[in-house]
């Protein structure tokens, strides 16, 4: 039965919204993942459901019949789930999370502590890791993601905020090594970076036409932890690129100085992701609501000092 429902919600959402872009945004997936999901549904059914063109989107005769029946079925499922959830008093059971190390300690732990005190029937297990984990395959109820979202139809995501990546160094280091005014000059500087998953160290920067590009850097220091990168930069060990929520306080205190502002990449999303199911469990919903309520103000306060001029 589960396999029969794959792609149904995506298909009905596209028809209701009238476009792949609007439906993808509403479901929290990429347009590519949404398109692939509906294509798999059409292949499984053996019919074309949608007529697609660059300017219009319409239902085929088979698609119209299928959409009408699916709408009724999904409404019945939604009603049944609402009735069940109405009988659940509070979040309970084990909730497994995976969060980036520094971000998790600064922003997520305070919220989890509040939940732990509020919901005594809730058990919380947290994996602090800067590795990109897939909650659908790794068994997590929720994952916090910094940066672009994966192209997966198995996950749902909601945007919690955004971050900017700031290139910075200590005043002491810049006095000794000079202030780079162009990316090419970074080759003569000692760079501090994270440990790459693909073996190549790069920073995300704004390209000539405003697009985000990967600029390869040669690193003198590499860490698998953002807090360690911050401490090395403050100590004067080199130039680094850090998210604004992490380096903002150090910039405010004069421990770090933002450089190369014209190459600063556009903001990237901070998101919560969870496996696609027909029911968002009360424990997951409670945490998402807490994140949406409290995180924006916490991020704004931490990011305000990092704004480059």
Radius of gyration (C-alpha) of the chain in whole angstroms: 23
pLDDT of the residue at 308:
47
CA 261 – CA 183 distance, rounded (Å): 11
In a domain, 1, yes or no: no
Question: Does the structure show a pLDDT above 90 at 92?
Answer: no
Q: What is the mean pLDDT of residues 142-164?
A: 85
Choose from 6-10, 60-64, 199-203 the range with maximum mean pLDDT: 60-64
Counting other chains too, the contacts that 287-291 makes at CB distance below 8 Å and 24 or more residues apart are 287/91, 287/95, 287/97, 287/111, 287/112, 287/115, 287/142, 288/142, 288/158, 290/111, 290/114, 290/115, 291/108, 291/111, 291/160
Range of the domain at 182: 165-263
Average pLDDT of every residue of the chain: 85
Q: What is the mean pLDDT of residues 27-56?
A: 86
pLDDT of the residue at 1:
45
Question: Does the structure show a pLDDT above 80 at 156?
Answer: yes
DSSP 184: G
Judgement on whether residues 199 and 154 belong to the same structural domain of the protein = no
Residue 46's domain is classified under what CATH number? 1.10.10.10
Judgement on whether residues 185 and 259 belong to the same structural domain of the protein = yes
Judgement on whether residues 100 and 146 belong to the same structural domain of the protein = yes
In a domain, 3, yes or no: no
Q: 294 in helix, strand or coil?
A: helix
pLDDT of the residue at 80:
61
Choose from 50-59, 134-143, 161-170, 201-210 the range with maximum mean pLDDT: 161-170
How much of the chain, in percent, has pLDDT values that exceed 90? Answer: 34
Judgement on whether residues 171 and 256 belong to the same structural domain of the protein = yes
Q: What is the mean pLDDT of residues 250-268?
A: 93
pTM (whole model) above 0.85: no
């Amino acid at each position: 039965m589960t396999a029969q429902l794959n792609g149904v919600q995506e298909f009905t959402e596209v028809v209701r919204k009238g476009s792949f872009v609007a439906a993808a945004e509403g479901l929290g997936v990429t347009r590519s993942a949404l398109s692939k999901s509906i294509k798999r549904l059409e292949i499984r059914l053996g019919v074309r459901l949608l007529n697609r063109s660059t300017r219009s989107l319409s239902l085929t005769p088979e698609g119209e019949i299928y959409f009408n029946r699916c709408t009724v079925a999904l409404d019945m499922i939604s009603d049944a789930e609402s009735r069940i959830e109405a009988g659940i008093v509070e979040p309970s059971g084990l909730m497994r999370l995976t969060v980036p190390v520094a971000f998790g300690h600064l922003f997520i732990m305070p919220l989890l502590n509040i939940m732990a005190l509020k919901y005594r029937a809730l058990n919380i297990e947290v994996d602090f890791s800067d590795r990109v984990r897939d909650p659908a395959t790794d068994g997590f109820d929720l994952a916090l993601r910094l940066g672009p979202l994966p192209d997966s139809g198995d996950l749902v995501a909601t945007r919690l905020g955004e971050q900017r990546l700031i290139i910075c160094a200590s005043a002491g280091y810049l006095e000794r090594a000079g202030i780079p005014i162009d990316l090419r000059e970074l080759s003569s500087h000692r760079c501090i970076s994270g440990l790459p998953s693909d073996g190549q160290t790069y920073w995300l920067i704004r390209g000539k036409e405003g697009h985000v590009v990967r600029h390869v850097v040669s690193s003198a220091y590499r860490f698998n932890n953002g807090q360690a990168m911050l401490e090395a930069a403050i100590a004067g060990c080199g130039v680094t690129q850090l998210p604004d929520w992490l380096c903002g306080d150090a910039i405010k205190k004069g421990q770090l100085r933002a450089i190369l502002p014209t190459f600063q990449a556009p903001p990237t999303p901070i998101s919560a992701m969870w496996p696609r199911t027909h029911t968002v469990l009360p424990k997951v919903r409670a945490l998402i609501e807490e994140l949406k309520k409290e995180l924006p103000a916490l991020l704004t306060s931490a990011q305000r000092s990092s704004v480059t001029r």
